[in-house]
Structure 1
Amino acid sequence: MSRYRGPRLRIVRRLGELPGLSRKSPRKAYPPGQHGQSRKKRSEYGIRLEEKQKLRFNYGVTEKQLVRYVRKARRATGSTGQAILEMLEMRLDNTVFRMGMAGTIPAARQLVNHGHITVNGRVVDIASYQCRPGDVITARDRDRSRGLIKTNMEYPGLANLPSHLEFDKDTLVGKVNGIIEREWIALQINELLVVEYYSRMA
């Protein structure tokens, strides 16, 4: 299943607020489609599927990538659900978004893919690159890269910088100081339902 490139507000209407996908709010409060206003009782499977879809669309990953993160999280110590969220949050595209260099995760992914971001002095154009504590993330030292990021910073996505990151708006230099804590994850999600979804699918 490829990455979603359709109307974003349609997804927001169906799944609720997705801070990484869009900064806009839908005018209509009910899901899209001709049955959007009907109050249909959701099955347990439907609830778990919805939580999984929230994760997929907010972070802009494909189904295949998400399955890979789940498998990796199962091998890690501690809570599987928390490990999945940590891995997704520590992706380079999401870190660039959380530092305020882009208004949404898709915009941050584009910055990374087009070679506007450096990690520890080297250009990294892989959006799924896993940031580690100690990584220094900066705008590439080119007028075009710095100009794009400064324009993006006029319309930030999220107001608060998470405690594991630091960012200097004047020099456009950011640093990863640790792993994100659960309370700083902006997406409203029950990660245990995502783990359950994949355990039943396996």
Structure 2
Amino acid sequence: MARYTEAKCRLCRREGQKLFLKGDRCYTDKCAYERRPYVPGQHGRARKKTSDYAVQLREKQKVRRIYGIQEKQFLSYFHRADMMKGVTGTNLLAQLETRLDNVIYRLGLANSRTQARQLVRHGIFLLNGHKVNVPSLQVKIGDEITVREKSKKIPVIQEAQDVIARRGCPDWLEIDGAALKGNVKAMPVREDIQFPINEQLIVELYSK
């Protein structure tokens, strides 16, 4: 599957807000969005008119980039959310939140979702005692995520304890920082997603 390999800070500038794609770097003065908070490119500072469609498209692109999802996969999540009971937009965000790579990031076991995805692919984590290497796996209530014993000495994993203490853990997850182990206590609700996302714009875009 194709992945975006250019500078991630350009994505934050394009969407007009921090997407925290580079982990702790986004909290420092090295953040490119802090230094150049305008759209990248030669005409980045020019004023442009935005249509309703453009606003909806940008919201969809923003969410895609936050979670690192390609268009085809994102559309598949939307169709699945639309067939589920409840609010389509909320169902969509809940599916994205319960991806294994996102849960590992939320637990503080990785500095960014990109790093979490890479660690999963390298087989560093166990899900309910079994080795997994698929970042898109959906976790369920009661699932336990642990770091393999022989991987706990990897510098990135050792730094995770500092990340856990600094970032904290959402209420629907539980983390044991010393044991590098996390549990899924409940499914996420809309209030658990603090990032400013207007999911209704995405629903309107795909409903046309």
- Tell me the TM-score range normalised by the shorter chain: over 0.9
CA distance in 2 between counterparts of 1:145 and 1:31 reads 40
TM-aligned CA deviation for residue 148 of structure 1:
3.1
Asked if residue 53 in structure 1 is aligned to residue 61 in structure 2, the reply is: yes
- After superposition, residues 62-141 of structure 1 pair within 5 angstroms as 62-141=70-149
TM-aligned CA deviation for residue 127 of structure 1:
0.1
CA distance in 2 between counterparts of 1:158 and 1:192 reads 32
Matching residue of 2:182: 174
Higher-RCO chain (CA-CA 8 Å, sequence separation at least 6): 1
1:36 partner amino acid = G
Confirm or deny: 8 A CA contact 2:109 2:163 kept in the other structure: no
**Aligned residue among 178, 196, 201 for 2:204:** 196
TM-aligned CA deviation for residue 175 of structure 1:
0.2
Asked if residue 183 in structure 1 is aligned to residue 183 in structure 2, the reply is: no
Q: Deviations over 1:75-98 (max 9, x none)?
A: 100100000000000000000000
State the TM-score, normalized to the length of structure 1.
0.92
Confirm or deny: 8 A CA contact 2:124 2:151 kept in the other structure: no
Matching residue of 1:5: 5
CA distance in 2 between counterparts of 1:76 and 1:158 reads 35
Matching residue of 1:17: 18
Q: How many residues align?
A: 199
1:12 partner amino acid = C
Asked if residue 39 in structure 1 is aligned to residue 47 in structure 2, the reply is: yes
CA distance in 2 between counterparts of 1:124 and 1:45 reads 39
Confirm or deny: 8 A CA contact 1:103 1:153 kept in the other structure: no
CA distance in 2 between counterparts of 1:131 and 1:186 reads 20
CA distance in 2 between counterparts of 1:139 and 1:126 reads 15
CA distance in 2 between counterparts of 1:146 and 1:138 reads 14
Unaligned runs of 5+ in 2: none
* Partner SS, residue 137 of structure 1: strand
TM-aligned CA deviation for residue 31 of structure 1:
1.0
TM-aligned CA deviation for residue 160 of structure 1:
2.9
TM-aligned CA deviation for residue 18 of structure 1:
1.0
Confirm or deny: 8 A CA contact 1:81 1:195 kept in the other structure: yes
Change over 3 Å in CA distance of 1:178–1:155 after alignment to 2: closer
Change over 3 Å in CA distance of 1:104–1:158 after alignment to 2: farther
Q: Deviations over 1:4-50 (max 9, x none)?
A: 2211000001111213x223232111111111111112111110000
| More helix as a share of residues | 2
1:128 partner amino acid = S
Percent identity of the aligned residues? 41
Greater shift in the superposed pair: 186-195 or 141-150: 141-150
Confirm or deny: 8 A CA contact 1:133 1:177 kept in the other structure: yes
State the TM-score, normalized to the length of structure 2.
0.90
Greater shift in the superposed pair: 65-74 or 26-35: 26-35
